[in-house]
Amino acid sequence: MPRPTGRVLTLLELLQSGGTRTVAELADRLGVEGRTVRRYVDQLIDLDVPVESVRGRYGGYRLAPGYRLPPLMLGDDEALAVLLGLIAGRRTGLTTTERTANETASAKIRRVLPQHIARRLDALLEALAFTGQPGEFDTPDSGVLLTLADAVRNHRPVAIRYTDRDGRHSERTLHAYGIVAHSGRWYVTGKDARLDEDRTLRLDRIADARTLPGSFEAPVGPDPAQRVVSGFAAAEYQHEVTLRIHGTVEQIRAQLPASVASLDEPGPEPAAGQDRAAERWRRVELRAERLDWLPPVLAALDRPFAIERPDELRDLVSAFADRLASYARHA
């Protein structure tokens, strides 16, 4: 059971989140009775925390307007979550004027962090790259993420435990070049020291990362984001898909972005408002480990299309169309 002092601090944290909190709500969150909540409020008032009582149907407790909060205290996971959110916001264009709001917020958070956490997050910011506009990403393990970031920054080898897509477990020594957020997942790109080959590994498949003694020289050439994208383009997948779709570049790219499919655009890149806006048949090629996600995507395009290969995709599209027709008949 939490000690009373811990509950008082939790109460302060709840009130700091803003708004008026009812006694019933606070009692439920703290796991105590209403009279105990009132006793905890009295303890905060004794500590010169300006807690106000709000009367009425929606009454309860709140902090006095303008109350200056105590120094910000964030753990590793909390600081990582906040700063990654700010970075994603900056990449999606959430800016104000000459200096962005998230830049100043990042600087304020950075100033009040404990030094050991600040150094690790600085390493992450230096190591991190996006291949495009960030969207919904899976959640990386903060320990693995920060350890790899530190290894990228200081050119230190790391020992990792990795599970590949077939479920095979292995222990590897990695020379990490960079961390990349791509198409909803986190990756680390680097050289597998045992195989002496470059690899792109998913962070959610790394169970543990431990820094090793020594150092390595980072290679010249493509940056980590380019390595990840080019690696996927050259990777062997189970299916090679070729389509012909009638539409504009924008219509096709809305469902099949450049990170997923290549679009046959012969000749120089057309200027905005010219050929890109013309509806015509265009060849689309992509590689996929599975095909079951493609029929809904093609349906969402709402454009005429033809499947050149593979035959299996034609069967999946026909089955998908039959299911839709069946749902419509029974609606």
Residue 71 lies inside a defined structural domain of this protein: no
Q: Are residues 22 and 136 in the same domain?
A: no
Q: Are residues 146 and 249 in the same domain?
A: no
CA distance 155 to 193: 13
Once rounded to an integer, what is the mean pLDDT over residues 306-311? 93
| Domains in the chain, number | 3
Range of the domain at 16: 4-63
Residue 41 amino acid letter: V
Over its C-alpha atoms, the chain yields an Rg (Å, rounded) of 27
Q: Is the peptide bond before 310 cis (omega within 30 degrees of 0)?
A: yes
Residue 230 lies inside a defined structural domain of this protein: no
**Which tokens in the block code for residue 97?**
């004027």
The dihedral over CA atoms of 217, 218, 221, 224, expressed in degrees to the nearest 10, equals: 170
Once rounded to an integer, what is the mean pLDDT over residues 234-258? 84
pLDDT tier for residue 74 given thresholds of 50, 70 and 90: low
pLDDT tens for residues 144-166? Answer: 888 888 898 899 999 999 998 77
Once rounded to an integer, what is the mean pLDDT over residues 200-213? 88
Q: Which residue has the higher pLDDT, 116 or 261?
A: 261
In the predicted model, is pLDDT for residue 134 greater than 50?
A: no
3-state secondary structure of 252: helix
Q: Are residues 188 and 312 in the same domain?
A: no
How much is the pTM?
Answer: 0.48
3-state secondary structure of 148: helix
Residue 69 lies inside a defined structural domain of this protein: no
Task: Kindly report the CATH number assigned to the domain that includes residue 321.
Answer: 3.30.70
Q: Are residues 89 and 12 in the same domain?
A: no
Q: Are residues 150 and 102 in the same domain?
A: yes
258-291 b/e (C-beta count within 10 Å ≥ 16 → b): eeebebeeeeeeeeeeeeeeeeeebebebbbeeb
Give the pLDDT of residue 235.
57
pLDDT tens for residues 247-260? Answer: 998 899 888 887 67
CA-based end-to-end distance of the chain: 52
Specify the range with the lowest mean pLDDT, choosing from 31-45, 83-97, 297-311: 83-97
Give the pLDDT of residue 104.
62
Q: Are residues 301 and 273 in the same domain?
A: yes
pLDDT tier for residue 286 given thresholds of 50, 70 and 90: confident
pLDDT tens for residues 314-330? Answer: 999 999 999 888 888 77
**Which tokens in the block code for residue 252?**
């096709």
Residue 42 lies inside a defined structural domain of this protein: yes
Give the pLDDT of residue 99.
45
Residue 159 amino acid letter: A
Once rounded to an integer, what is the mean pLDDT over residues 72-100? 58
pLDDT tier for residue 230 given thresholds of 50, 70 and 90: low
Give the pLDDT of residue 318.
93
Task: Kindly report the CATH number assigned to the domain that includes residue 83.
Answer: 2.30.30.520
Residue 57 lies inside a defined structural domain of this protein: yes
Give the pLDDT of residue 306.
94
pLDDT tier for residue 132 given thresholds of 50, 70 and 90: low
Give the pLDDT of residue 282.
93
